[in-house]
Chains A and B, each alone.
Chain A
Amino acid sequence: MISVNNILETIKMIQDEHLDIRAVTMGISLLDCIRADHQELCGQVYDKICRKAEHLVSTCEEIEKEYGIPIINKRVSVTPVSMLCGASGGDPVAIAHALDRAADTVGINFIGGYSALVHKGYTEADRRLIASIPEALSQTQKVCSSVNVATTKAGINMDAVAEMGRIIRQTALLTADRDSIGCAKLVVFANAPEDNPFMAGAFHGIGEPECVINVGVSGPGVVASAVEKAGDCDMTALAEVIKKTAFKITRMGQLVATTASQRLGVPFGIVDVSLAPTPAVGDSVAYILEKMGLEQCGCHGTTAALAMLNDAVKKGGLMASSHVGGLSGAFIPVSEDAGMIAAAQNGTLTLSKLEAMTAVCSVGLDMIVVPGDTSEKILSAISADEIAIGVVNTKTTAVRVIPAIGKQVGEELSFGGLLGSGPVMPVCPLSPAKLVERGGRIPAPIHSLKN
């Protein structure tokens, strides 16, 4: 018999410490939907998603009930859309509408894959897709978009980085009446993973099977509480505590992933071992860092604490799952984390500190609100810095910044729900225009040559 203490520990984690499965994401290949006729292509896209994901939501709800564990998001990721519209030559926005309609029909909350992979250069279709992002994100509700502008192998496509500055700004302007929410659904990537279950950056990579189930776990609240309980131990002991907790969290993700995959008749892909916060008090990565011994997240010592946390989460999670993938690490999305919001509000957490933190953890400059008058050149340069960290450190980095149109430092944007709300953070106003305008490619770093 399972011990009473173990039973109560699990129940406490779920009930009091916000333990949940953050996302069950079904990856669907749309390559067989390609048609020369654009309208027919859109119809195929809609039909295939509805067919494959028909039982996704109901199956997840069933699992939630049987295991008593909440599954917060049910999502779909698809083949990068730029690959579809290359064949038909039609307007990519029509595909965005088809994706949005399909997402509504199957009842999921986000669909990712309005994406282009341009780390080495553009196809004609990539160009059209990227240009259409502001329009697509302003006209749809659930579609998420991402653009991979760099890899460690290929270097950084600086033309794409420059272009994305313009796209981010235009997206903010087109959705200015809704707190620039379009930018919360747009990610600029370096080394984008093909099996990421988390939005807004999820897409179904070309090396992926026909259909696959990827699961993202969560649990900052559980880790924070374990760190608190550990008391005054040294860092070695603390790392052990975090590893054990991450193991438990991930085992649950693995169970849900294999059960969902079995019931849906779809292969299991990966578990993404990430600490994903929510704006709910107690479900914050910043609180973990503070419980480790910082007065507030963002003060000196934050990067070291985060580096240990991120590493321990991975080590614990790795043994708990048969396949670990996606982003796997601690997330630090400012607007989605109560502790980060507080630290940004009083100025402890700055953009430069966040940039340093992203060198040792998952993702990157995520859900950061910047002044509405931030120029496209500065947006590009912010992206370039972050992308360079990813390329040189052979890791994924992403940029999801939101220019708050009409707002200045001291004001706030509020998206609601899991996207939360964020204070406008100051950026350096000096111009990086000349650098951004140079374009071209930053060559791949020396350590990319591993063969």
Chain B
Amino acid sequence: MKAVIAVIGKDYVGIIAKVSAVCAECGANIVDISQSVLKEYFTMSMLVDIDGLKMEFTAFVDRMNTLSKEIGMEIHTMHENIFNAMHNI
């Protein structure tokens, strides 16, 4: 199973490092990253494999929500199925 981590906010040095550090700590394996900076806005979507998570997925969502506050970026952690359902026929 996979999840999408979307990170949005003002760009600065080290955002990906901070997010991926938490992924590693929780056992979420990064499968793909797509990132862009438009004007000063940073947008990243990360696809992570959650089969090896060291915790429940909901606890991982909580951990990411805490990180969101720590690094001052908007972070959405959602199961990939919602995007597959909505955007693929």
Contact A6 B83 (CB under 8 A): yes
Contact of B83 among A7, A254, A259 (CB under 8 A): A7
Write the B30-48 contact mask toward A (1 if CB under 8 angstroms, else 0).
Answer: 0010101000000101010
Given contacts A4-B45, A10-B82, contact A66 B57 (CB under 8 A): yes
Given contacts A1-B47, A8-B43, contact A252 B85 (CB under 8 A): yes
User: Does B4 make an interface contact (CB < 8 A)?
Assistant: yes
Contact of A4 among B36, B76, B82 (CB under 8 A): B36
- A7 contact set on B, CB distance < 8 A: 4, 6, 45, 83
A1 to B35, alpha carbons, bound, how many Å? 13
The bracket for how many chain B residues form the interface is 20 to 34
Write the A243-254 contact mask toward B (1 if CB under 8 angstroms, else 0).
Answer: 000001001101
Contact B76 A248 (CB under 8 A): no
User: Does A87 make an interface contact (CB < 8 A)?
Assistant: no
- A68 contact set on B, CB distance < 8 A: 61, 76-79, 82
User: Does B66 make an interface contact (CB < 8 A)?
Assistant: no
A-side binding surface: helix, strand, loop or mixed?
helix
Contact A62 B58 (CB under 8 A): yes
A62 to B59, alpha carbons, bound, how many Å? 10
Contact A2 B57 (CB under 8 A): no
A291 to B82, alpha carbons, bound, how many Å? 28
Residue of B nearest to A62 (CB): B58
- B57 contact set on A, CB distance < 8 A: 66
Contact B6 A252 (CB under 8 A): no
Write the B59-89 contact mask toward A (1 if CB under 8 angstroms, else 0).
Answer: 0010000000000000011111111111100
User: Does A442 make an interface contact (CB < 8 A)?
Assistant: no
User: Does A11 make an interface contact (CB < 8 A)?
Assistant: yes
Residue of B nearest to A66 (CB): B79
Distance in angstroms from A61 CB to nearest chain B CB is 9
A2 to B81, alpha carbons, bound, how many Å? 10
Contact A2 B36 (CB under 8 A): no
Contact B61 A65 (CB under 8 A): yes
Contact of B78 among A1, A4, A67, A259 (CB under 8 A): A67
A251 to B89, alpha carbons, bound, how many Å? 9
- B34 contact set on A, CB distance < 8 A: 1, 4
Distance in angstroms from A66 CB to nearest chain B CB is 5
User: Does A388 make an interface contact (CB < 8 A)?
Assistant: no
Write the B1-36 contact mask toward A (1 if CB under 8 angstroms, else 0).
Answer: 000101010000000000000000000000010101
- B82 contact set on A, CB distance < 8 A: 10, 67-69, 252, 255
Q: For window 249-293 of chain A, which residues contact chain B by CB distance below 8 Å? A: 251-252, 254-255, 259
Given contacts A65-B61, A67-B79, contact A10 B86 (CB under 8 A): yes
Residue of B nearest to A5 (CB): B87
Contact of B43 among A4, A62, A252 (CB under 8 A): A4
- B78 contact set on A, CB distance < 8 A: 10, 66-68
- B80 contact set on A, CB distance < 8 A: 2
Contact A10 B83 (CB under 8 A): yes
Distance in angstroms from B60 CB to nearest chain A CB is 10
Contact B6 A6 (CB under 8 A): no
Distance in angstroms from B37 CB to nearest chain A CB is 12
Given contacts A2-B4, A248-B86, contact A255 B32 (CB under 8 A): no
- A9 contact set on B, CB distance < 8 A: 87
- A65 contact set on B, CB distance < 8 A: 58, 61
A252 to B84, alpha carbons, bound, how many Å? 10
- A62 contact set on B, CB distance < 8 A: 58
Besides A8-B6, A66-B58, 17 new A-B residue pairs in contact (Cβ under 8 A), listed by A number: A2-B84, A2-B87, A4-B34, A6-B87, A7-B45, A9-B87, A10-B78, A11-B6, A11-B8, A66-B57, A67-B78, A67-B81, A68-B76, A68-B78, A252-B82, A252-B85, A254-B85
| Complex A-B, nearest 6 residue pairs according to Cβ-Cβ distance, in ascending order | A68-B78, A255-B85, A6-B87, A67-B82, A2-B83, A251-B85
Interface residues in chain A, defined as those with a beta carbon under 8 Å from any beta carbon in chain B: 1-4, 6-11, 62, 65-69, 248, 251-252, 254-255, 259
Q: List 12 A-B contacts (CB under 8 A).
A: A1-B34, A1-B45, A2-B47, A3-B87, A4-B34, A6-B86, A7-B83, A10-B83, A65-B58, A68-B61, A254-B85, A255-B85
